[in-house]
Chain A
Amino acid sequence: MADVTYTSLEEGDLFDAASLTALFTGITAAVNDVEAAAVDRGALNEAHLPSLVVDRQQTSFVGTGVGGNHVYDETEVLVPAYLTINRNGTSPPGGGNLEITFTAPINLATAEVGGIFVMCNLHVVNMDDDTPANSATRWMLFRLQIQDGPGTWVTVQRTERALAESWASDQLFQVGIRTLIRSGDVVAGGGVGDTVQAVRAQISMQTAGNPPIRRVTLRECHLSGLVLHSSRATP
């Protein structure tokens, strides 16, 4: 309960500036230190409180209809190089990058956000050279990059995910990447500062070193970033 001290005026008491000031003192103290119990239950609602979502961005490649395939091959990219997933159900490239840009750069050092939560789902059809006899196993690789304040893209190493190839049949495997972009990730990746402007998803692959060429076929791809008014506890 709010602690309000009020001493009633009695008949015969002086009714002057001093007595009025004394009356106000208890009320003032209570108003200046409103306790949670002073608020009627259910009184505050969305009309009083601001949204605690600082920003949210999302992009999807769905191609034409449900799942337009898009293909990447080893003539375009080989590990250690990576290529931004950059075609939306089309090949050659079309539809822009699998990339999200925040409304305003997020400064993880000063903004009141504990991190940027990123979810990325990539539907893999297969990695295939159509040559079952070619038994050398190779991998397709995926990772996330963030763009720092000056505009440099840097890698978040812990988001690297790989999947071994198939031979001839489809894999139909969903690669899920979840990460919390935190203060320090920009510098750890070789960037400058603590500001993140954008996030993008990339692809790479190994080669068997002999023909025919490897190629990776992707279907739907989704990338989203959620920025909440939040803190981050140090583990």
Chain B
Amino acid sequence: MSWRFPRFRLRDGNALSTDDMNESFLESADEMSGRLNEHNWASGSIPTQADVQQDAAFVWHQVGVAADLFDSGGGGQVNWFEVEVNSGWVRLGSMVLTITGPSALYWIHASSMYRKGPLHATGLPFIRWAIRVDGQIVPESVVGGLEDDFLPFNWNAFSPVGGVAPIETNLLVPVAAGQHTVEFCVRLDSVASLLDHLEFISRELICLEMRR
């Protein structure tokens, strides 16, 4: 209740006045009309996290795939995902989140491990990873490129296969209320005579929807 209520406090011996009574009630009613402020709640008046709705501030979205790096492929390399050369930006299979909610900040993390396919010649490919939001590759999330920071060491030395490396990227992006898609993508630009595909093993895409 308002900290100022009642304006006209009745005391012993006072004459009852309907005007005073109306004033006291109307003031309180007025307070309820958008004027409740910090004085109406005691410090720490929401004492525990349980008093806050579980999804009031943070909602996790996640998709992950576990695969065995040592899967020999006898029964098919279970849960591996292959990306062909020169296919443009390709989503890593199931690495997509569809999120519907209020305007928020998305804190997105994408990580994976990949293995190169058979190398047919000496040379470096052009591999990039990125996070795609609502169909648009977000440039700030792009990692890789001609730099070899994300390539297995001694790329050219491994024959026929063997080069494995982990990669990770992240992004903080504001979104409007509504439905959005978040994807983990890769792009392999090269000449097929050098390398015709990459193989992705365990991978995970996480989005923390920060509503407040």
Q: What chain A residues lie within 8 Å of B22 (beta carbons)?
A: 8-9
Residue of A nearest to B163 (CB): A164
Chain A's interface size range is 35 or more
Given A27-B25, A233-B59, do A158 and B204 touch, yes or no (CB 8 Å)? yes
The segment from B63-71, B85-93, B188-196 found at the interface with A is B63-71
Convert A162-193 into 0s and 1s, putting 1 for each residue whose CB lies closer than 8 angstroms to a CB of B. 11111100010101111110100000000000
Given A4-B33, A15-B16, A178-B109; A235-B97 close (CB under 8 Å): yes
Q: Out of A34, A38, A157, A164, name the residue touching B158 (CB < 8 Å).
A: A164
Q: Counting CB contacts under 8 A, is B99 at the interface?
A: yes
Contact B36–A15 (Cβ < 8 Å): no
Please report B residues at the A interface, Cβ cutoff 8 Å. Answer: 1, 16, 18, 21-22, 25-26, 28-29, 32-38, 40-41, 43-52, 54-55, 57-70, 97-99, 109-111, 113, 149, 152-154, 157-158, 162-168, 170, 201-204, 206, 208-209
Chain B interface SS verdict (over half): mixed
A135 to B157, CA, bound (A): 8
Tell me the A17-76 residues at the B interface (CB within 8 Å): 23, 26-27, 30-31, 34, 37-40, 43-45, 47-52, 54
Interface pair B34/A50, CB less than 8 Å apart: no
Q: Give chain A residues whose Cβ lies under 8 Å from the Cβ of B165.
A: 162-164, 173
- Listed by A's residue number, 17 A-B pairs whose Cβ atoms lie within 8 Å are A2-B33, A4-B29, A4-B33, A10-B18, A27-B25, A39-B34, A80-B70, A162-B164, A176-B111, A176-B168, A178-B111, A179-B204, A228-B57, A231-B60, A232-B59, A233-B59, A235-B62
Q: In the complex the two chains form, is B59's CB within 8 Å of A39's CB?
A: no
The answer to whether A4 touches B49, judged by C-beta atoms less than 8 angstroms apart, is no
Across the interface, do A2 and B154 meet the contact criterion of CB distance under 8 Å?
Answer: no
Q: A48-B43, A48-B46 given as contacts; is B98 within 8 A of A235 (CB)?
A: yes
Given A2-B32, A157-B202, A163-B166: A115 in contact with B62 (beta carbons within 8 A)? yes
A23–B63 Cα gap in the complex (Å)?
55
CB atoms of A39 and B153 under 8 A apart: no
Q: Taking CB as reference atom, which chain B residue is nearest A159? A: B202
**Given A158-B66, A180-B60, A182-B62, A6–B113 Cβ distance below 8 Å?**
no
The interface residues of chain B lying within 8 Å CB-to-CB of A13 are 18
Chain A residues lying within 8 Å of B203, measured Cβ to Cβ, are 158
Q: Is A137 an interface residue (CB 8 A)?
A: yes
Complexed CA–CA distance, A1 and B31 (Å) = 10
Residues of A participating in the B interface, judged by any CB pair closer than 8 Å: 1-2, 4, 6, 8-11, 13, 15, 23, 26-27, 30-31, 34, 37-40, 43-45, 47-52, 54, 79-80, 112, 114-115, 117, 135, 137, 139, 141, 157-167, 171, 173, 175-180, 182, 228-233, 235
Choose among A114, A141, A175 the residue that contacts B69 (Cβ–Cβ < 8 A).
A141
Residues of A within 8 A of B55 (CB): 230-231
Contact A1 B204 (CB under 8 A): no
Which chain A residues border B98 with CB–CB below 8 Å? 235
Interfacial chain A residues near B204, Cβ < 8 Å = 158-159, 178-180
Taking CB atoms, residues of chain B closer than 8 Å to A49 are: 46, 52
Nearest 3 pairs between A and B by C-beta?
A176-B168, A230-B58, A137-B162
CB contact under 8 A between A39 and B37, given known A15-B16, A164-B152, A229-B58:
yes
Q: B62 and A50: CB pair below 8 A? A: no
Bound Cα distance A179, B204 (Å) = 7
Which A residues lie within 8 Å of B49 (CB)? 50-52, 54, 112, 229
Residues of B near A137 (CB, < 8 A) are 154, 157-158, 162-163
